[in-house]
Structure 1
């Protein structure tokens, strides 16, 4: 098939994203725990750091640049970059906290679906490749639109602090 021939797929071209792809090797690398923004949240004030819950081996934090309201990340306290570097205890608690995050988000916000996953390494799309983190993104019918593509803007109907308040209170009541 030649470029431009009809193949039955609709495509949304986003050439502005090519700048991100072609400059991915120039992304900021966080060398050591002192530079890492996820490590800095470990000893910070929970509200200021947007930490919703602290477990034994991992903590749960709101994403500072959320895809949707309530976008959480489950992060180990240890500064490790790969899932394969996690201990069994870190991995198991990460899974349990992901399940709990889903229950809390469903109860608090009525979400009808989730995107859950982790990007490994800079080439794999990890924004902070040096510190392992799993995304828990709540989804609702109709929550995606063209605003991010044509206006490079994401509409979020709730302030991060308001989301933090609702989720941290609900998490406390979960146990």
Structure 2
């Protein structure tokens, strides 16, 4: 039987040399080039109108293509393309409105109902321990798309803030968005 010292795996000494990438080291890289579009703000609407608004555009697509989980009378639930955690979705009014105070009573009620239902669904399929729920009102408050109101529903688990976002500035998601959409839509 091997001792603990003998059974430990030796650190990998394999390095891939590539001209121009810097000093060779033992770190492995987790590349997420799809995030660069978000960082650069590509395809982000540049005005306050409906023209070019991704939320207005998504509402006109089929659910699978748009990653829409469910539709209501005045709002829909859609997965976030750049999720903080698996299952991160947004409740979005169909009407192009920027401020929460501009919602009608019916829209406000349906945003609340969809948010509650989303929490139940996410808990049932993933066992979320808690949620961050919020509206970022305006660019100064962190709204990525300030011209069209959207409420985030972010599932959380004890200890889900591991070393990757803190040290690697990277979020590891265990499931493709299309698979997550199907799972949530089927449970909705």
TM-score bucket of the superposed structures, by smaller chain: 0.7 to 0.9
* Contact 1:114 1:138 (C-alpha < 8 Å) held by counterparts: yes
SS at match of 1:39: helix
Task: Give the match for residue 140 of structure 1.
Answer: 157
Task: Give the match for residue 91 of structure 2.
Answer: 74
State the 1:31 CA deviation.
3.6
Q: Which gives a bigger RCO, structure 1 or 2 (Cα 8 Å, sep 6+)? A: 1
State the 1:146 CA deviation.
2.9
Is there any run of 5+ residues in structure 1 with no aligned partner, and where? 1-26
Equivalenced residue count is 145
Taking structure 2 as the reference length, what is the TM-score of the superposition? 0.74
Q: Distance in 2 between matches of 1:146 and 1:131?
A: 33
SS at match of 1:99: helix
Q: CA RMSD in A?
A: 1.2
Q: 1:116 aligns with which of 109, 119, 133?
A: 133
Taking structure 1 as the reference length, what is the TM-score of the superposition? 0.80
Is there any run of 5+ residues in structure 2 with no aligned partner, and where? 1-43
SS at match of 2:181: helix
Structure with the greater alpha carbon radius of gyration: 2
* Contact 1:29 1:130 (C-alpha < 8 Å) held by counterparts: no
- Give structure 1 regions of 4+ aligned residues with deviation exceeding 3 angstroms: none
